[in-house]
Structure 1
């Protein structure tokens, strides 16, 4: 077995960003498809409920901002 520098190195900014994006996607997926409460999502993912609420608010505001309005 060789030495793996990634196993001992602190997370890079790209790794941290990837973790944040995947957590964001998972929270929104559970919120929209599973219809779980913010408390249940927080418990399932092991993060504070306040963070779950913030991510949901951020995700919903982006969805509305990015939608095209057709008349």
Structure 2
């Protein structure tokens, strides 16, 4: 049974690592990294990876890093 959702006002910003976003918009395997006191909650955004169209990616790039499991 699904519990009801309890919404709250964002007051803190955190950094998390995760494997990917699921199709329904939830994080898969999220892990807390740290608090981010220098970031205001209104500035927090969902980062979206760049689409690679060349068929290959160079090691050390964001697209390459997102193809590996981040743990």
* Fold equivalence (TM over 0.5): no
TM-score by length of 1: 0.24
Who wins on radius of gyration, i.e. which is larger? 1
Structure with the bigger percentage of helix: 1
**Greater strand share, structure number:** 2
